[in-house]
Amino acid sequence: MKFFVDTADTSEIADLAATGLVDGVTTNPSLVMKSGRPMREVIGEICALVEGPVSAEVTAVDYDAMVKEGRYLAEIAENVCVKVPLTMPGLKTCKTLSKAGIKVNVTLCFSAAQAILAAKAGATFVSPFVGRLDDIGEDGMRLIADIVTIYDQYDHFRTEVLVASVRHPMHVVAAAQLGADVVTLPPDVMRKLAQHPLTDKGLAAFLADWQKTGQSILPS
């Protein structure tokens, strides 16, 4: 299972990438807005921080303009993955860019029917938003289960399921149980994955006992 970080904050990305656990990054127009930086500059910097795919989203809504923006974004760095919305023009753009060898992430996916279209359009990734479905009383993880099952039926569907809009560690665990290819994590959720109160308690007790021995592991 791959871990992407869902942010355009380069200091957060650098910090988490240093763990060796980050396989890519996703951004969207809201995250770029939060960064307060010009998009081209921030995407370029992120692409230098991580080797894996970095999703950069188009903001045009019609096909011709989306293709233009997508090609422009793809020029920023080799590891840019162009993000397009799950609309008919977005799918058409996905097909065109994918055929040209550009990686595409089809975003804002909220149904299995939409995910079938993304696979048919040759998307590298499809991004179902689990948190936003949970927020309106639907079951985000049910959608992941449906998409994984459907994609498994067809060898020619190469699209990876990228679980997005992740809100907490149990989304990650459930996505892993379902065999999703990728989860994209807000930095705080990634850090929360490592936390457990019994780990903290156990470590404090070990360190207190160790101090009583007066020893140090490395020779002085």
Helix pair 10-17, 39-49: axis angle to 10 deg: 10
The letter for the amino acid at 205 is A
Task: Give me the least distance between CB of 164 and ligand E4P, in Å please.
Answer: 4
Question: Looking at beta carbons only, is 5 or 74 nearer to ligand E4P?
Answer: 5
Question: Looking at beta carbons only, is 33 or 205 nearer to ligand E4P?
Answer: 33
The letter for the amino acid at 156 is H
Question: Looking at beta carbons only, is 6 or 146 nearer to ligand E4P?
Answer: 6
Burial of residue 145 (number of CB atoms within 10 Å: 0-12, 13-18, 19+): middle
56 beta partners? 82
Q: Which residue has the tokens 């903290």?
A: 200
Task: Give me the least distance between CB of 107 and ligand E4P, in Å please.
Answer: 6
Task: Give me the least distance between CB of 83 and ligand E4P, in Å please.
Answer: 7
Could you tell me if residue 214 is left (phi over 0), alpha (psi between -120 and 50 degrees) or otherwise beta? left
Task: Give me the least distance between CB of 165 and ligand E4P, in Å please.
Answer: 3
Residues binding ligand E4P (CB under 6 A):
6, 26, 28, 107, 127, 129, 131-132, 164-165, 184
Are the C-beta atoms of residues 162 and 3 closer than 8 Å to each other? no
What single-letter DSSP state applies at residue 124?
Answer: S
Residue positions annotated with a catalytic role: 83
Question: Looking at beta carbons only, is 2 or 132 nearer to ligand E4P?
Answer: 132
Question: Looking at beta carbons only, is 36 or 219 nearer to ligand E4P?
Answer: 36
Kind of pairing between the strands at 125-128 and 104-109: parallel
Burial 75-100 (b: 16+ CB within 10 A, else e): ebeebbbbbbbbbebbbbbbebbbee
